Amino acid sequence: MTETNTPLGLMTQRGPTVLWNDSATYHELETAISWGAVGATCNPVIALAAIRSDLPRWTQRIKELAVEMPEATESEIGWKVVEEVSLDAAKLLEPAFEKYNGYNGRLSMQTDPRLARSAKKLADQAEYFSSLAPNIIVKIPATGIGVEAIEDATYRGVNINVTVSFTVAQAVATGEAIERGLKRREAEGKDVSTMGPVVTIMVGRLDDWLKQVYAKDGLVFDPGYLEWAGVAAVKKAHEEFKKRGLRARVLVAAYRNALQWTELVGGDLVLSPPFAWQQRFQASGIDPEPRIDLPVDPKIIDALYTMPEFRKAYDVDGMTPAEFADFGATRKTLRQFLGADEELDQIVRDILIPAP
């Protein structure tokens, strides 16, 4: 039962803003659901954490999969485990999926970052993941190739959660790609009534990147302003989505501060904090008021705007799709996700071929 008198419970009861859980770890998702969560996000790092949280169980399952799939590579076995972790979590969200007719109640599975150079391979894997359970939503990165894959997969009927996305330009380009995919389906008489696509902005990872640039470039404006960069990007993207009539919702992930909660309540968007941040929000005693439409202080925007990297992130035309893959936060995140793939391969290897 949802705890309606808690900070997160109050947020989810009063308006269109909904809570998802940025974790597929079973007990964390169970608890988040009790606080009002109606969806969950996952990525290679999060899936790896979920496997490590119950390693004895997954060690046994990896051994079984090696027998069931005698010709499979370490990577194929690892990704089969990721599928099973995801399906466990998806079952917890089935009640919300039914209640919201597909608009919420979805578990995110992320496409393999090693496929990021091929739009067709990304769309094909997205379609496969979507077939595993009715309430799966699939992550595709917001690169130029990803934009192509997002439109194609949406047209095929896949619910998309855009990921590796940090900027207004990425959000708008991918939101419009989703819209094109939806319209192509509608033109052919195909159903879109149960589709619930979202476009993520990884607010904290944008802040992390700008802080790195701030230090490298020796800048001296108030460093506290950097805590507002991701918030400003979300507010701008949310405004643009409404202005353009885009049906995808903005989803906020990768939290680093409480502003990324309190400043973003009130709109038709998804807040997906990591479980540890949800615990902090629940303990805060804050009664969140709608603030999504309140602009960030112009003096903060003016200071941030002196940074070319912030202009790339904040302006609708700050980057072209061809430039998305080279944005600093994109490169850092893709490398981290690729590293998680390698770590999962290593876990499988250590189980199947123990060191002597």
In angstroms, what CA-CA distances link 194 with 97, 130, 138, 158? 10, 13, 15, 11
Contacts (Cβ under 8 Å, ≥6 apart) of 152: 119, 120, 123, 181
Amino acid (one-letter) located at 110? Q
Taking residues 178-205, report their average pLDDT: 97
Residue 5 has pLDDT above 80, yes or no: no
Q: What is the mean pLDDT of the chain?
A: 95
Taking residues 165-174, report their average pLDDT: 98
Dihedrals phi, psi of 278, to nearest 5 degrees = -60, -40
Task: Give 96-121 pLDDT, tens digit per residue.
Answer: 999 999 999 999 999 999 999 999 99
In angstroms, what CA-CA distances link 330 with 38, 73, 169? 27, 28, 13
- Please state, in angstroms and rounded to a whole number, the distance separating the CA atoms of residues 67 and 58: 14
Taking residues 254-277, report their average pLDDT: 96
Least reliable range by pLDDT among 22-26, 45-49, 50-54, 145-149: 45-49
Q: Of residues 5 and 263, which shows the higher confidence score?
A: 263
pLDDT of residue 4: 62
Residue 12 has pLDDT above 90, yes or no: no
Task: Give 201-213 pLDDT, tens digit per residue.
Answer: 999 999 999 999 9
Q: What percent of the chain has pLDDT over 70?
A: 99
Taking residues 239-264, report their average pLDDT: 98
Amino acid (one-letter) located at 62? I
The residues pairing with 18 across neighbouring beta strands, listed in sequence order, are: 270
The residues pairing with 161 across neighbouring beta strands, listed in sequence order, are: 139, 198
pLDDT of residue 3: 58
Taking residues 271-285, report their average pLDDT: 95
Residue 43 has pLDDT above 80, yes or no: no
Taking residues 305-326, report their average pLDDT: 98
pLDDT of residue 49: 85
In this prediction, residue 44 has a pLDDT band, given cuts at 50, 70 and 90, of confident
pLDDT of residue 1: 45
pLDDT of residue 10: 86
